[in-house]
Amino acid sequence: MAESDEQAVETDAPGWKPTPEAKKKATTFRWIAVALWIVAIIGEAVGIFWLLRQRVYVGEEGTFTRDPETGLVTESGVTAIFPQWAFIALLVLLVVIAALSITGSVLWKKANRLDPARKSDKARFFVQNQLGAIIAIVAFLPLVILIFLNKDMDKGQKATAGIVGIALALLATYIGIDFAPASVEQYTADQSAVIQILGEDEVVWVEGGKVYHVCDEVPDIQTGSEKLTGTTAEAVAAGKYRLTLRFASELKTCGLPVPENADEIADALREIQAGSENTPLPAPVWGDDVTPPIVVEDAAPAE
């Protein structure tokens, strides 16, 4: 009886939840990403406060002259230039900052797939999913601006370093953007569809696949790889981030009942997986000769 009660609690839990293993893995990815971003920003600081201040002087035999109109003394014959070694070091630093920023962004996005934010919390959802792009801008923009403002670089050095900096900044920002972020709502919709169609939260996947399936007899997973079975949360932890939208044909292949409105359910899931916030998930409609896998009563309206 206790086991049955526990299962009911898990099924009735408000919203999808990651497995403890996925949560731990996501936390590890995030800490590594933050460490990489901190190093990238430290590298930016080194470039701004040390590297860009390097200069050597030529024509040191210059003389002082006084401007009779202003009364100010100027030194002629002495020119400060940006040394070549510092220019090469600056280019290397830009590449290193980009590598650190991009690697951190990739890990951060993997963490967000394993442990996503709720789309209903708009501010957190935006920041959490676009933090990689934000960090890329922070790590590059001040340094690139100061490159163009540097008075000791010649035109060739400034143009080369500026173009490289802008190109790497755009690349790191683009990779940092999550164009299709996962959400708790999306995973909850997939989980709800699975429970209503199959009667339980149990799906199948293989190592090489990108989605999880409703049974183990479908052609897409007859690859020779081991077929793994578990909950939707365990599938997500294994890197399968959504339910296949071809579940109707899979149900037919496995001899399982197919909802009469399977296409409508698939269309709703497609919209939700694409980021829609206002698409309701239809309840399965079963034929008169079909015994529903599970009966889920509508919740009482909120007071």
Average pLDDT rounded to a whole number, residues 57-67 = 68
Query: What percent of the chain shows pLDDT beyond 90?
Result: 78
CA distance linking residue 69 with residue 301, whole number of Å: 85
- Mean pLDDT (the chain) is 91
The DSSP-derived string for 252-272 is HHTT----TTHHHHHHHHHHH
Neighbours of 49 (CB within 10 A): 10
CA distance 186 to 276: 9
pLDDT in tens, 176-188: 999 999 999 999 9
When pLDDT is averaged across residues 122-146 and rounded to a whole number, the result is: 97
Nearest CA among 80, 41, 75, 38 for reference residue 57: 80
Q: Which amino acid is at 89?
A: A
- pTM (two decimals): 0.87
Compute the average pLDDT of residues 61-70: 71
- For residue 13, give both structure tokens: 């839990």
* Among the ranges given (6-10, 11-15, 57-61, 296-300), the one the predictor scored with the smallest mean pLDDT: 6-10
Tokens (6 digits) for 273: 């997986």
User: Is the CB of residue 258 less than 8 Å from the CB of residue 290?
Assistant: no
CB atoms within 10 A of CB 153: 22
pLDDT in tens, 195-233: 999 999 999 999 988 999 999 999 988 888 899 999 999
Q: At what angle do helices 122-149 and 20-49 cross, to 10 degrees?
A: 20
Q: CA dihedral in degrees (179, 181, 186, 188; nearest 10)? A: 170
| CB burial of residue 156 (10 Å; 0-12, 13-18, 19+) | exposed
How far is it, in rounded angstroms, from Cα 214 to Cα 240?
13
Compare 241 and 13 and report the one with higher pLDDT. Answer: 241
Q: Are 132 and 104 in contact (CB under 8 A)?
A: yes
* Cα gap 12→184, rounded to integer Å: 15
Q: How far apart are CA 250 and CA 12, in angstroms?
A: 26
Distance in angstroms (rounded) separating the CA atoms of residues 63 and 131:
53
Distance CA(244)–CA(251), nearest Å, equals 12
pLDDT at 224: 83
**Tens digit of each residue's pLDDT (9 = 90 or more) over 202-211:** 999 999 889 9
